Each structure stands twice: as C-alpha cells, then as structure tokens.
Amino acid sequence: MPASTVGLAPAPPPPLAARVRTTAPSAVREILAVTARPGMISFAGGLPAPELFDAEGLRAAYTTVLTRSARRALQYSTTEGAPELRAAVARRFDGRGLATTGDDVLITTGSQQGLGLIATALIEPGDTVLVENPTYLAALQGFALAGARVVPVPCDGEGILPDALEELVARERPKLLYTVPTFQNPTGRTLPSDRRAAVAAVAARLGLWLLEDDPYGDLRYEGCDIPWLAAHPGAEDRTALLGSFSKVMAPGVRLGWLRAPAALLRGAVLAKQAADLHTSTVDQLAAAEYLRTADLSAHIARVREAYRGRRDTLLSGLASALPAGSTWNRPEGGMFVWARLPQGHDATTLLRAATAAGVAFVPGAPFFAGSPDPRTLRLSFTTHTETEIAEGLRRLAAAGGAHAEAKREARPSPPTSDRPRTGYRRIPRSRPAAPT
C-alpha cells in the first residue's frame, strides 16, 4: 500500500445519477408492501383476480411449445418479437377497425416497458411532456427518469379538456401527450369519442406526439367500445399505442405490445435492444399458441362478468363505508373507482386507520402532476370476491368511524361560559352526491 494512503479513510464511490436521486418511489408499491400481510383486504393494487387465470389453457400452451419447438422456445430471438405473436396482436387491432400488420407491432416485456421505450426514443432532458391530471403513477416516474418537464392538462370527470389542451400545446410546445383514455388509471373515467377526435386534431394541427396507453380496454362492463385515439383522423402518423395481456391473460407472463408509426417503432426497437435484447421467447411462443388454440374472447367474457359484479358490490357499499358527503364515479369498465372525501378530510390520514382495521386503498395525491387533492382516493375492485369486498367495506366503515372519533377528540375544547347551555338539534346528514 502506498505510504500516502496509510491511515486515510477510503473515498466513497461517486453518487447515483441525479435522475434516480430525484425520482420518488411508487406510492402504490410502498402501500402494497404494507398491505401484503395475511388477512388484509386490499383495494389498493390494480391486480387481476388470480382465480380467474386460465391456468390450464396456459399450461397446455407452454407444454405444446416446449414439446414441439423447445430449441426455438429456449433460444435468443429477434428484438421485434415472434412473428406469430406480432401477427396475432395485429389481428386484434384489425378486428376493431384499426388496420394493422405485424410489422407495425413491437412485443414488449409488459406495456410498462413500452412506455419506457417511447420515453427513451423521444424525450431529451428538459423536453415538456403533457399528462392527464391525475395520471398513471408509473408514467410520472418514467418521465421523471427521462428528465422530462411534466405539465398537467386540465381534466374533468370525462378526461382531457380539448380547449385547455390546445392552449397548453400552443404555450408550452410539448413533444408528447401521454393519455390513458379508456377506463383511466387512477380515475376509471373514459374520454368520449368527440373529445378524442378533438385531441387528435390538436396534435395534428400543432405538431405533437401522442402516447395512448390502453391496458384496460378489454374490461368493459357496460356501454359500447369507443375507437382508439390512434384511429381518429390526424392521429394515425403520430400515435404510439400501448397494450398488454396482463389484465386479460396473466400479468406473470409479462407480455405487452407497442403499435407505432415506422420511424418511431424503429427508435423503440433500438431502445429495446439496449434494454433487454428481446422479450422472453418461450413466453411469446406460448402466448401465440394460446391465442391460436384457446378462445380468448370467451375467457375475457368470463372475466368481465366476474368484475362487473365486484364493481357493483363496491359501488353499492360506498355510501355506508365512506364519510357522509363523499362522492365517487361509476366507471363503465377497468379496475378502479375514484372517490373524494368531504371537506376537512384527508385520504392519507384515513388510510392509517383503515390499515389498522385490515383494509387498504391508495390515496389519490401521488397521482397528480400538479397540485394534489388530498381528499381523493383510488379503490380497485378486481382482486377480491364480492364477499370479501363487502367485508372490506365493513372494515372501511369502522375505520372511518374510528378516524372521525379521533378527529373529534383532537379538537380543542370550546371556551367555557357562564351562560346556560342550550340544546342542539342534530341535523341529518345528506346522502352522498350522485356518482360523478
């Protein structure tokens, strides 16, 4: 050892990249870690119901692939994905009126990877990205890691306000708008067709990339399908469309896809080559075999029927489970109900009482790109049975009562007075406002 270093403390390694140091962890993942204990009824995570997985059909598909073509299934593959799976995904788009070929599709390791690939291919540090407010939490993380400046677009109960979007695009000159227009996470709302057309027109007129995330579109319980944003005039050559098998097949296979114009798709392929070379070959071939031999539409119909009942059970019990004066929406599909507590309440404070009672949800504040609304919360209804949901609502009502009692006890006592105390008439509380 050189004499100059004798007795000196070792130098620390260089710091982590600023993009990692300054990006907040996922609030949902933090809550899921807390709520994983046995007996917890969790409305927090957007998890598919495991008892609804077609395990036998998937097992048969894997068995067939490994029996007939193990050498290919266990080998490296192309970055773009297995041709038969790309073609199967393209047929699903074609079946709903969006002309697509396998060459338009990149297979990804979950749609989450597709979001990251687009950020890598498009976003330079300092670029402006527009998002719905509130929006998908992992998208906020991904854009933060890319160094983007994230600006929220004003929204109402149906989603993006096109006039406000046009004003923002003209003023901020963003590169990209990220949107989950169908059964949005976290709000469950769906952007109407006329607004989708208006968004596409703004993007075409002012020059804007669109990133349309559609992981929930197959989970419709009422109403009619609405064409993708990518299908509207003006959006065809500027929209990257993400999708996933996680919600309708199984999240464990980690298969998603990206449909995009050729130039952007080439950029995403380059980004994926640097990220993981390609998505698991055996999983891709098993999924393609499953789509060839199983009736995915019939399976989705069974999932929809189960989730519809679970949604309705949650909605029917919220009036007694949440504090009087709370409001919530009625999503036509997806996995989430969005609620708002009355004035003076805080969802994070309520969550502490709820977890102590054995039930959990996600406070809405982390989903906001702009000023958060601390009274909001997201409740997922897909993971538990209707019986379990009813019990979770009972626990949530008990937690709300305990929370209200703690708030009353924490209030300072009113000043004493020599005047005789008069009686107070209890004014009945109104029922929650109609879902919005």
Report which DSSP code applies to 279: S
Nearest to 112 by CA among 81, 85, 148, 139: 139
The pLDDT of residue 29 is: 67
The pLDDT of residue 24 is: 73
Question: 337 pLDDT band (50/70/90 cuts)?
Answer: very high
- 434 has pLDDT over 90: no
> What is the rounded average pLDDT of the residues 73-81?
98
Question: 38 pLDDT band (50/70/90 cuts)?
Answer: confident
- 189 has pLDDT over 90: yes
Higher pLDDT, 413 or 404: 404
List pLDDT tens digits, range 347-383: 999 999 999 999 999 999 999 998 999 999 999 999 9
CA angle, corner 396, sides to 326 and 361, nearest 5? 80
User: Cα(212)–Cα(182) distance, rounded to whole angstroms?
Assistant: 9
Per the prediction, the chain carries an average pLDDT of: 91
The pLDDT of residue 401 is: 81
Q: Give the number of C-alpha atoms closer than 13 A to the C-alpha of residue 61, restricted to the C-beta side.
A: 22
- 420 has pLDDT over 50: no
Per-residue tokens: 95: 């079946």
List pLDDT tens digits, range 98-133: 999 999 999 999 999 999 999 999 999 999 999 999
Tell me the domains of the chain and their CATH numbers.
19-51+298-409 (3.90.1150.10), 55-293 (3.40.640.10)
- 48 has pLDDT over 60: yes
The pLDDT of residue 52 is: 97
